[in-house]
Structure 1
Amino acid sequence: MIEAMRVYVRWVERVNTVVGTVVMYGIFAMIFVLGWSIASKQVALPALWTLDISQFLMVAYFLLGGGYSLQQDGHVRMDLLWGMLPQRKQSWVDTLTVFCMIFYIGVLLYGGIGSTIYSIEYQERGFSAWRPLMWPIKVTMCVGIVLMLLQAFAMLFRDILRISGRGMSG
């Protein structure tokens, strides 16, 4: 069981590192789209698609990078007392609080899947003049939420290994 936890943590963290590293470069796509928006307003008629695409890129950037951000401990932590605890006790606190995060992400995923199914079934479109299909970004959102959920379990397993004194190194 211990080795299965280590394998899971390594696999999930490798996947989130690859996805997070690739998604990091999405900032350049956002810069290009917003730059195109500015230029098209100055030179010709404004492009109708730039607002929607920039919003879609931001959602993808945020959610696909969420698992990587969790892995890198990049989220805000209320550590009024946590920072003063020894590492093993920090792991105990994290083990208890990660269940709240897993529940929240699970509810988010449940709603996301329902919304995605609706979007695919009814070919839902955006409300702008461009009227893009919504299901591609909703699928992307669900993938990002799944990556965050997998990383939350990896964090739980890492803390369990630390509490047991076995750690990740073997």
Structure 2
Amino acid sequence: MPNWLIAFVKIIDAVNYRIGRLSMYLLFVLSGVLLWSIIAKAFGRPPLWTQEMAQFTMVSYFVMGGAYSLQLGANVRMDLLYGRWSPRKRAAVDAVTVFAMIFFLGVILWGGIESTAYAFEIGERSRSVWRPYLAPVKIIICLGVFLMILQSIAFLIRDIALARGEEF
């Protein structure tokens, strides 16, 4: 493998690792928002923003941690035959099937970018009483999907090297 491909994979892995580790702390933000909601309701002043803020925080946690989850192999995989194959055969099959994942994520990213552009054009807001702008959460979704695509490309490069018998 060329050195620039190895550097690319290492950079993508490092970026997704750091962002994934950082996004773990969004659970504390989510807990704080929900705790505030509970305390405010107990005193008879339920805030209008807590439910949607909790949803936005959960979406951010889920999407921004997606590439990190892929990196750790925490995704669900059908292991009927896969577990019996040699690492080299697994890499060859993964190098082919990763294109389905990249295509799927690409379609999601394309739709997400169009939806984000639309949200900016019209100043799209939620239909709730709080009425927050939706563009920020749509940007986060697009960024998270883009990071998953980059991680999938890094997997593809790694799988091609392994299928060719090269250590990465």
Instruction: Give TM-score, length-normalised by structure 1.
Output: 0.96
User: What is the distance in 1 between the residues matched to 2:86 and 2:60?
Assistant: 36
Deviations 1:49-84 (A, max 9, x none): 001100000110011000101111110001110000
- The SS at the match of 1:28 is helix
User: What is the distance in 2 between the residues matched to 1:36 and 1:91?
Assistant: 48
How far apart are 1:8 and its partner, in Å? 1.1
Q: Give the aligned partner of residue 33 of structure 1.
A: 33
Q: Give the aligned partner of residue 19 of structure 1.
A: 19
Deviations 1:91-133 (A, max 9, x none): 0111111010000000000000000000011100001100000
User: What is the distance in 1 between the residues matched to 2:64 and 2:4?
Assistant: 25
Q: Give the aligned partner of residue 80 of structure 1.
A: 80
Q: Give the aligned partner of residue 64 of structure 1.
A: 64
User: What is the distance in 2 between the residues matched to 1:20 and 1:58?
Assistant: 14
Sequence identity, in percent?
46
User: What is the distance in 1 between the residues matched to 2:154 and 2:137?
Assistant: 26
User: What is the distance in 1 between the residues matched to 2:123 and 2:130?
Assistant: 15
User: What is the distance in 1 between the residues matched to 2:71 and 2:5?
Assistant: 16
User: What is the distance in 1 between the residues matched to 2:167 and 2:116?
Assistant: 38
Matched, 1:48 2:22: no
User: What is the distance in 1 between the residues matched to 2:2 and 2:152?
Assistant: 17
Q: Give the aligned partner of residue 145 of structure 1.
A: 145
Give, as a single letter, the amino acid of the residue that structure 2 aligns with 1:136. Answer: P
Unmatched runs of 5 consecutive residues or more in structure 2: none
1:34 and 1:54 in contact (8 A); partners too: yes
Q: Give the aligned partner of residue 89 of structure 2.
A: 89
**Correspondences of 1:104-119 after superposition (within 5 Å):** 104-119=104-119
Q: Give the aligned partner of residue 102 of structure 1.
A: 102
How far apart are 1:3 and its partner, in Å? 1.9
Give, as a single letter, the amino acid of the residue that structure 1 aligns with 2:150. Answer: L
- Considering only aligned residues, what root-mean-square deviation do their CA atoms show, in Å? 0.8
* Residue correspondences, number: 168
